[in-house]
């Protein structure tokens, strides 16, 4: 479909002065108005009109012409645009329908199919986009769907999410599945068999703990006291020297 300004399927035309008096006898004069964009002035109807002949003479001419195809008073009139090759051979080009005085061009089959396909593709794209918003994925759980049935549930879920964000408590998610943990354990066991740990001797340090130091000092003190007590009793200190009186 082309631009709406150039495509006649996107426009309509009417003349308010003619609408109250439209009938099968003057509807062709209404359609042949100078302001009607659907009317081609190079048609045979203009030739017959300029020569003031009866419209029955159109069948004796060849070329482009307009004819009243269907009437359903007082609201519907159908006018056909066709190319006449002879008195009995014509090729339809387009149909125009007048509903309540407003003129429209009837769409052709190609335009109808194109419009329907475009509408279908648009709706399918919207459906896929909406379905994508419900899909969820987690490495440990895979894919799943999360549908929201009613708007009230949506509001409740939003409120719960806001409360969870404001609170300090966070839901702990499972870091891995049972299958993943089993596989990791198998890999670790294989690595332990291939590369066993070598037992290294622990270095002996000369440093002592504070408690050990305290206990050693206490033992030294006790030994000193014992040595003092075990001195022989026969040993006496030297006599004191008394000053001589002159």
CATH classification of the domain holding 20: 3.10.450.580
The verdict on residue 219 lying in a domain is: no
Q: Is 231 left (phi over 0), alpha (psi -120 to 50) or beta?
A: beta
The verdict on residue 45 lying in a domain is: yes
Tokens matching residue 75: 């609201």
Q: What is the pLDDT of residues 155-209, one digit of tens each?
A: 777 777 777 776 655 555 556 777 788 888 888 888 888 888 777 665 655 555 5
74 preceded by cis ω (within 30°)? yes
On the question of pLDDT at 150 being above 60, the answer is: no
Of residues 92, 88, 91, 90, the one with CA closest to residue 78 = 92
Statement to judge: residues 28 and 92 lie in one domain:
yes
Most confident of 70-84, 134-148, 177-191, 193-207: 70-84
Domain that holds residue 123: 109-149
Q: Is the pTM of this model over 0.85?
A: no
Most confident of 72-86, 132-146, 199-213: 72-86
Residue of 36 and 229 predicted with greater confidence: 36
Q: How confident is the prediction for the chain on average, in pLDDT?
A: 80
Domain edge (last residue) among 90, 121, 149: 149
Domain edge (last residue) among 118, 149, 180: 149
On the question of pLDDT at 1 being above 50, the answer is: no
Rounded Cα distance between 6 and 160, Å, is 54
Residue 197 DSSP SS3: coil
Statement to judge: residues 38 and 95 lie in one domain:
yes
- Cα-Cα-Cα-Cα dihedral sign, residues 30, 35, 38, 41: positive
Statement to judge: residues 141 and 68 lie in one domain:
no
The verdict on residue 121 lying in a domain is: yes
Count how many domains the chain has.
2
């Amino acid at each position: 479909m082309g631009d709406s300004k150039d495509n006649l399927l996107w426009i309509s035309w009417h003349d308010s002065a003619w609408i109250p008096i439209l009938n099968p006898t003057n509807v062709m004069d209404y359609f042949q108005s100078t302001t009607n964009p659907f009317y081609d002035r190079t048609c045979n109807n203009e030739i017959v009109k300029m020569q003031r002949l009866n419209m029955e003479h159109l069948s004796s001419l060849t070329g482009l012409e307009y004819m009243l195809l269907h009437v359903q008073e007082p609201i519907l009139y159908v006018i056909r645009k066709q190319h006449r090759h002879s008195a009995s051979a014509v090729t339809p080009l387009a149909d125009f329908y007048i509903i309540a005085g407003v003129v429209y061009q009837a769409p052709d089959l190609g335009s109808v199919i194109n419009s329907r396909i475009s509408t279908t593709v648009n709706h399918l794209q919207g459906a896929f986009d909406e379905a994508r918003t419900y899909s969820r994925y987690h490495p440990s759980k895979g894919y799943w769907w999360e549908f929201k049935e009613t708007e009230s549930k949506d509001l409740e879920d939003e409120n719960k999410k806001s409360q969870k964000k404001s609170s300090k408590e966070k839901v702990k998610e499972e870091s891995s599945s049972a299958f993943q943990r089993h596989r990791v354990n198998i890999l670790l066991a294989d690595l332990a068999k291939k590369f066993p740990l070598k037992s290294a001797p622990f270095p002996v340090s000369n440093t002592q703990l504070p408690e050990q130091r305290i206990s050693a000092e206490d033992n030294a003190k006790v030994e000193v006291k014992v040595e003092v007590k075990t001195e022989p009793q026969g040993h006496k200190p030297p006599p004191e020297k008394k000053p001589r009186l002159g």
